[in-house]
């Protein structure tokens, strides 16, 4: 089985490497020629255009920034749709709009291609160690065909419904994560202003109902002033904007999401777009004229 992989960025690069380690033969393309050369040294085959990847692959995986990039790679000139064969399975692991996922799936279906959307959660560390959480939308029989492949890159892969359901689930995940970080930031600034150590607050509450994976991952980063991106603010802006678009489409109220999105956009305007999303605390710190540290 030959796997096409397009998008060898922060997430895609370690995911593709895990596939190679598991013995899969890869055909790759990426705008970053240096990373493509790295994969050639690992045994992957280089392609010039996405259509060439499609012509040589049984399963194609994309890991791209957003809906426009996925549409470009799949549907535009030299895109996958120009080289794809009937019976190929397309797995889009990008975090994009569910509306875009359905549009791409409909176009590919005309070529006899089945699609699943399979966005991930866990950031770069879990991409590296192959323990991502993968949320899948598509037909059950297609999911069953690719589940073993997905579990090379993740520790769990859950079918959430038809095409688009994976990205709806990912948007729900991103809403919960963003709101958790905002709540943590607000609470730690409160503690700091009131003269109570954020580190002591963290240790006191982490085992109770307020404890969470988000708290465990992001509180130490904030207190250490370590905002090296595991997941960038600009990417979270993209996800929450997609959540707002989807909410408007289906009539779901997105009150808290809209507020946190504006906070993140404010941070982007102040040069924090490439910082980890835990830097959301800086929005509160600026308003409170304080800094959360140990």
Assess whether 282 carries a catalytic annotation: no
CB atoms within 10 A of CB 161: 14
Residues 17, 170, 218, 238: which is the catalytic one?
170
CB 26 within 8 A of CB 50: no
> Which residues on neighbouring strands pair with residue 3, listed in sequence order?
26, 59
Residues in contact with 255: Cβ distance below 8 Å, sequence separation at least 6, in sequence order: none
Phi and psi at residue 132, in whole multiples of 5°?
Answer: -65, 150
For residues 169 and 85, give the distance between their C-alpha atoms in angstroms, rounded to a whole number.
29
Dihedral sign for Cα atoms in the order 168, 243, 178, 123:
positive
> Which residues on neighbouring strands pair with residue 5, listed in sequence order?
28, 61
CA atoms within 13 A on the CB side of 204: 8
Active site residues: 170
């Amino acid at each position: 089985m030959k796997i096409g992989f397009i998008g060898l960025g922060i997430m895609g690069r370690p995911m593709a490497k895990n596939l190679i380690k598991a013995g899969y033969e890869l055909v790759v393309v990426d705008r970053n020629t240096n990373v493509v050369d790295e994969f050639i040294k690992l045994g992957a085959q280089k392609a010039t255009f996405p259509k060439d990847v499609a012509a040589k692959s049984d399963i194609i995986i994309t890991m791209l920034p957003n809906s426009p990039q996925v549409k470009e790679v799949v549907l535009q000139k030299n895109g996958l749709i120009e080289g794809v064969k009937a019976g190929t399975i397309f797995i889009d692991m990008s975090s994009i709009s569910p509306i875009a996922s359905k549009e791409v799936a409909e176009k590919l279906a005309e070529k006899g291609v089945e699609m699943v959307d399979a966005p991930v959660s866990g950031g770069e560390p879990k991409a590296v160690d192959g323990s991502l959480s993968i949320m899948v939308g598509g037909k059950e029989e297609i999911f069953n065909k690719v589940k073993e492949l997905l579990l090379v890159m993740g520790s769990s892969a859950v079918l959430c419904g038809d095409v688009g359901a994976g990205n709806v689930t990912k948007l729900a995940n991103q809403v919960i994560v963003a709101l958790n970080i905002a709540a943590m930031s607000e609470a730690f600034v409160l503690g700091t202003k009131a003269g109570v150590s954020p580190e002591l607050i963290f240790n006191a509450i982490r085992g109770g109902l307020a404890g969470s994976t988000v708290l465990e991952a992001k509180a130490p980063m904030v207190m250490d002033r370590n905002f090296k991106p595991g997941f960038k603010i600009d990417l979270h802006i993209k996800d929450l904007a997609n959540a707002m678009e989807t909410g408007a489409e289906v009539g779901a109220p997105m009150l808290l999401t809209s507020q946190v999105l504006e906070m993140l956009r404010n941070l982007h305007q102040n040069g924090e777009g490439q910082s980890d999303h835990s830097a959301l605390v800086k929005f509160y710190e600026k308003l409170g004229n304080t800094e959360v540290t140990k």
